[in-house]
Copies of this chain bind each other. A is one copy, B any other.
Amino acid sequence: MDPIVAIVLILGLAKVFGELLERGGYPPMIGEIAAGILVGPAVLGLVTMNETLELFSTIGVIALLFISGVEMNARAFAAARNAAALTAVTGIVVPFVLGIVGGALLGLSAVEQLFLATVLSITSIGVSVRTLIDLKMLNSMVGNTIVGAAVVDDVIGVILLGILSSIALSGQLELAPLTATLVLAVLFTVFALTAGRRLFLWAFRTSHRMLTHEMPYVAAIVIALGTAAVADAVGLHYAIGAFVAGLVLGPQIRNDRSVFDGLADFAFGFFVTFFFASIGLLFHPDPAVFVSVLVPALILLAITGKTAGGYIGSRPYMGDRLQALMVGFGLSPRGEIALVVAQVSLSTGIITRGLYSGVTVMVIATILAVPLLMKWGFAARKKREEAVKGGRPAAESQ
Contact = CB atoms under 8 A, between A and B. Distances in A.
A2 interface: yes
A385 interface: no
A211 B23 contact: yes
Given A15-B215, A212-B19, A7 B265 contact: no
B270 A232 contact: no
Interface stretch (A106-114, A143-151, A222-230, A359-367): A222-230
A217 B265 CA distance: 7
B262 A218 contact: no
Contacts of A238: 4
Given A52-B55, A214-B264, A229 B22 contact: no
A212 B12 contact: no
Contacts of A268: 213-214
Interface string A192-227: 000000000000000000111111011001100110
A383 to B, nearest CB: 24
A32 to B, nearest CB: 11
A210 B17 CA distance: 12
Contacts of A233: 2
A223 to B, nearest CB: 9
Given A19-B215, A55-B3, A212-B28, A261 B264 contact: no
Contacts of A221: 11, 269-270
Contacts of A52: 51-52, 55
Contact of A12 (B12, B58, B222): B222
B2 A232 contact: yes
Nearest to A217: B269
A134 to B, nearest CB: 11
Q: A interface, how many residues as a size bin?
A: 35 or more
A293 interface: no
Contacts of A55: 3-4, 52
A250 interface: no
A378 interface: no
Contacts of A228: 4
Nearest to A259: B265
A347 interface: no
Interface in A1-33: 2-5, 7-8, 11-12, 15, 18-19, 22-23, 28
B19 A229 contact: no
24 contacts: A2-B229, A4-B59, A7-B225, A11-B218, A11-B221, A11-B225, A15-B212, A15-B215, A18-B212, A19-B215, A22-B211, A23-B211, A28-B212, A51-B51, A214-B264, A214-B265, A214-B268, A217-B265, A218-B270, A221-B269, A258-B261, A261-B261, A262-B265, A262-B269
